[in-house]
Amino acid sequence: MTAPAEPEIVDERFWLKRAAVVLAESAKRLDAGAAQVATAMAWFWTAYSAAATAALAITNRGVSLPWALLVASPACAIFVAYALATWASLPVPVQFNVVSPAQIKQAHDAVLAAKRRRLSISLVFGGVAALLVACVLVGLTVIDEHHEDTAIAALTMNASGPEMVVGGRVPVDTRVVVRVTPVGAPAVSRIVAIGKDRRFAVVVPVPLATGYDVETSWADGARTTIVRERVKPNE
C-alpha cells in the first residue's frame, strides 16, 4: 500500500522553487507565443489574399496606383509581423560569467526583455495588418462602381493546398456554374445561387497543376454568358 504524500509546506523554500520554475519557463512561453503569432500571420496572409482577390473580382475595379498601394499595404504589415514573431523565437546573443549568479540573472532578464519587446512589436504590426485588411475590404466592396457583369479567377495557396477563387457580378436571381479543369486532372464544378446582391465569390480546392482552365457561366433569360480564363501558378 502506497504511503500518503506528505503535505507541501508553503514557506520560503516553496516560493523559491516556484520562482525557479517561473524563470525556467518564461523564455519557453515567449517562444511558444511567438510561434503562435507567426502561425496566425501565415494563416492571415492566406485568408487575406483570397478575400482581396474575391473583393477585386466582385467590384471589378480598375487597379490604379492608389488602389494597388491600398491592397498591398496589409501584405507588408503581415510580413513584418510574421518576421518579428519569428525573430522573437530566435536565441538572443548574450555574454555572462557562468560562475557569477548576478551576471546570469542579468543576462536572463535581458533575454526575456528582448523577446518581450520583439513579440510586442509583432503584435502591434499584426493589429495594424488587421485594421488595414478591414479598410481594404470595405473600400473594395462598399465603395462600389457600376460595371458590366463579369467574372474573374485567381489561384491562391494555403496550408492544405491550392485553391481557385472565382468571383464577380452577374444578373440578379440567376445561377452561376464554375468549372475548374486542372491540367492532367478531372474538372471540379461548383454551382452558386445568386439573389438580389448580384455579387458572388466561391473558393474551389484544386490539385496542384501547371495550369487551370476556369469556365464561369450564367444565364440571363435567353442569353447565356460564358467567361473562360487560363490561370497559371505564380501569375
Mean of pLDDT over the chain:
75
Taking only the tens of pLDDT, the chain with its 235 residues reads: 455 555 556 555 655 565 555 556 666 766 776 777 777 777 777 777 766 666 665 555 555 667 667 777 777 877 887 777 777 777 667 675 656 667 767 777 777 788 788 788 888 887 887 787 777 767 665 555 445 678 888 888 877 888 999 988 888 888 899 999 999 999 999 988 887 777 888 889 999 999 999 999 988 877 888 899 999 887 5
List the beta bridge partners of residue 227.
Answer: 216
Is the pTM value of this prediction over 0.95?
A: no
Render pLDDT for 46-57 as a digit per residue (tens, 0 to 9).
777 766 666 665
Query: 99: burial class by Cβ within 10 Å (0-12, 13-18, 19+)?
Result: exposed
- 165: which residues sit within 8 A by CB, 6+ positions away? 50, 53, 54, 57, 153, 154, 155, 156, 201, 202, 203, 204
Question: Which is the CATH superfamily of the domain at 150-231?
Answer: Immunoglobulins (2.60.40.10)
Q: What pLDDT, on the 0 to 100 scale, is given for residue 20?
A: 56
Amino acid at the residue 106: Q
Per domain, the residue ranges of the chain are 12-141, 150-231
